[in-house]
Amino acid sequence: MEIKKDDVVISVIITAHNRRKFLKEAITSALNQEFDRSKHEVIVVKNFEDQEIDSFIEEKNVKSLYTEEEKSGGVQKVGAEESKGSIVCLLDDDDKFHEEKLRNVCHSFTRYKDLTFYHNNRVVIYDEGKVLLTPEV
Protein backbone atom coordinates (compact mmCIF):
# COMPACT_ATOMS: atom_id res chain seq x y z
CA MET A 1 0.00 0.00 0.00
CA GLU A 2 1.33 3.40 -0.95
CA ILE A 3 0.58 6.29 1.39
CA LYS A 4 0.04 9.64 -0.26
CA LYS A 5 0.66 12.91 1.57
CA ASP A 6 -2.95 14.03 2.14
CA ASP A 7 -4.68 10.66 2.29
CA VAL A 8 -6.71 9.42 5.22
CA VAL A 9 -5.13 6.00 5.59
CA ILE A 10 -7.18 4.39 8.36
CA SER A 11 -10.84 4.67 9.24
CA VAL A 12 -11.72 3.52 12.76
CA ILE A 13 -15.36 2.51 12.98
CA ILE A 14 -16.72 2.34 16.51
CA THR A 15 -20.09 0.61 16.81
CA ALA A 16 -22.43 1.16 19.76
CA HIS A 17 -25.73 -0.66 20.16
CA ASN A 18 -27.67 0.48 23.23
CA ARG A 19 -24.48 0.79 25.31
CA ARG A 20 -23.01 4.01 26.60
CA LYS A 21 -20.86 3.05 29.59
CA PHE A 22 -17.45 2.76 27.88
CA LEU A 23 -18.09 4.57 24.58
CA LYS A 24 -16.12 7.71 25.50
CA GLU A 25 -13.14 5.55 26.50
CA ALA A 26 -13.31 3.71 23.17
CA ILE A 27 -13.38 7.00 21.27
CA THR A 28 -10.51 8.42 23.32
CA SER A 29 -8.40 5.31 22.68
CA ALA A 30 -8.97 5.66 18.92
CA LEU A 31 -7.98 9.33 19.02
CA ASN A 32 -4.94 8.99 21.32
CA GLN A 33 -2.82 6.99 18.92
CA GLU A 34 0.90 7.14 18.21
CA PHE A 35 -0.10 7.73 14.61
CA ASP A 36 -0.56 10.98 12.70
CA ARG A 37 -4.07 12.22 13.50
CA SER A 38 -4.45 13.62 9.99
CA LYS A 39 -3.98 10.10 8.63
CA HIS A 40 -6.91 8.51 10.46
CA GLU A 41 -10.55 9.27 11.02
CA VAL A 42 -12.90 8.04 13.71
CA ILE A 43 -16.53 7.25 12.92
CA VAL A 44 -19.07 6.33 15.60
CA VAL A 45 -22.15 4.41 14.45
CA LYS A 46 -24.85 4.13 17.11
CA ASN A 47 -28.54 3.43 17.48
CA PHE A 48 -29.29 6.00 20.18
CA GLU A 49 -29.04 9.67 20.97
CA ASP A 50 -27.42 10.83 24.18
CA GLN A 51 -26.77 14.52 24.77
CA GLU A 52 -23.61 13.99 26.84
CA ILE A 53 -22.08 11.50 24.42
CA ASP A 54 -23.16 13.47 21.34
CA SER A 55 -21.52 16.61 22.78
CA PHE A 56 -18.33 14.65 23.49
CA ILE A 57 -18.29 13.28 19.92
CA GLU A 58 -18.80 16.75 18.45
CA GLU A 59 -16.13 18.28 20.72
CA LYS A 60 -13.62 15.64 19.58
CA ASN A 61 -14.46 16.29 15.90
CA VAL A 62 -15.54 12.69 15.36
CA LYS A 63 -18.08 11.74 12.71
CA SER A 64 -21.30 10.38 14.22
CA LEU A 65 -23.82 8.28 12.33
CA TYR A 66 -27.20 7.00 13.49
CA THR A 67 -28.67 3.69 12.37
CA GLU A 68 -31.60 1.51 13.27
CA GLU A 69 -29.69 -1.51 11.95
CA GLU A 70 -29.38 -4.16 14.67
CA LYS A 71 -27.01 -6.69 13.15
CA SER A 72 -23.33 -6.11 13.88
CA GLY A 73 -22.26 -6.48 10.25
CA GLY A 74 -24.95 -4.08 9.10
CA VAL A 75 -23.86 -1.45 11.61
CA GLN A 76 -20.23 -1.85 10.52
CA LYS A 77 -21.33 -1.53 6.88
CA VAL A 78 -23.00 1.83 7.64
CA GLY A 79 -19.65 3.11 8.94
CA ALA A 80 -17.62 1.56 6.12
CA GLU A 81 -19.80 3.23 3.49
CA GLU A 82 -18.97 6.63 5.00
CA SER A 83 -15.27 5.94 5.54
CA LYS A 84 -12.41 7.52 3.60
CA GLY A 85 -9.55 5.24 4.64
CA SER A 86 -8.09 2.45 2.56
CA ILE A 87 -7.83 0.45 5.80
CA VAL A 88 -10.81 -0.05 8.12
CA CYS A 89 -10.33 -0.90 11.81
CA LEU A 90 -13.34 -2.00 13.82
CA LEU A 91 -13.79 -1.20 17.50
CA ASP A 92 -16.74 -2.06 19.73
CA ASP A 93 -18.03 0.51 22.21
CA ASP A 94 -16.81 -1.54 25.19
CA ASP A 95 -13.26 -2.03 23.87
CA LYS A 96 -10.14 0.14 23.65
CA PHE A 97 -7.20 0.31 21.28
CA HIS A 98 -3.62 0.17 22.50
CA GLU A 99 -1.91 3.48 21.66
CA GLU A 100 0.29 1.76 19.04
CA LYS A 101 -2.57 -0.09 17.31
CA LEU A 102 -2.95 2.11 14.22
CA ARG A 103 0.80 2.51 13.73
CA ASN A 104 1.19 -1.28 13.80
CA VAL A 105 -1.73 -1.81 11.43
CA CYS A 106 -0.39 0.75 8.94
CA HIS A 107 3.10 -0.74 9.16
CA SER A 108 1.77 -4.25 8.47
CA PHE A 109 -0.29 -3.19 5.45
CA THR A 110 2.61 -1.13 4.09
CA ARG A 111 5.14 -3.93 4.57
CA TYR A 112 3.00 -6.81 3.30
CA LYS A 113 1.45 -5.60 0.05
CA ASP A 114 -0.93 -8.58 -0.30
CA LEU A 115 -2.27 -8.35 3.25
CA THR A 116 -6.07 -8.14 3.33
CA PHE A 117 -6.90 -8.91 6.98
CA TYR A 118 -5.07 -8.12 10.22
CA HIS A 119 -5.97 -9.30 13.71
CA ASN A 120 -3.95 -8.95 16.86
CA ASN A 121 -3.98 -10.15 20.46
CA ARG A 122 -6.37 -8.82 23.06
CA VAL A 123 -6.24 -8.09 26.77
CA VAL A 124 -9.35 -8.45 28.93
CA ILE A 125 -9.99 -5.56 31.34
CA TYR A 126 -12.60 -5.54 34.10
CA ASP A 127 -15.03 -2.63 34.61
CA GLU A 128 -12.76 -1.09 37.22
CA GLY A 129 -9.75 -1.20 34.89
CA LYS A 130 -8.05 -4.29 36.32
CA VAL A 131 -6.39 -6.47 33.67
CA LEU A 132 -7.40 -10.12 33.62
CA LEU A 133 -4.32 -12.23 33.07
CA THR A 134 -4.93 -14.57 30.17
CA PRO A 135 -2.88 -17.66 29.37
CA GLU A 136 -0.48 -17.51 26.46
CA VAL A 137 -1.71 -19.42 23.44
Domain-located, residue 2: no
Q: What is the pLDDT of residues 12-56, one digit of tens each?
A: 999 999 889 999 999 999 999 999 999 999 999 999 999 999 999
Average pLDDT, stretch 67-90?
95
Distances (CA, A) of 51 to 29, 46, 54, 58, 124: 21, 13, 5, 10, 29
Alpha-carbon distance of 121 to 136, in angstroms, equals: 10
Q: Which tops the pLDDT comparison, 129 or 64?
A: 64
Q: Is 135 exposed, middle or buried (0-12, 13-18, 19+ CB in 10 A)?
A: exposed
**What count of residues does the chain have?**
137
Domain-located, residue 5: no
Domain of 61, CATH number, reads: 3.90.550.10
**Domains identified in the chain, total number:** 1
Q: What's the pLDDT at 4?
A: 61
Domain-located, residue 4: no
Nearest to 80 by CA among 70, 65, 102: 65
Per-residue pLDDT for 88 more than 90? yes
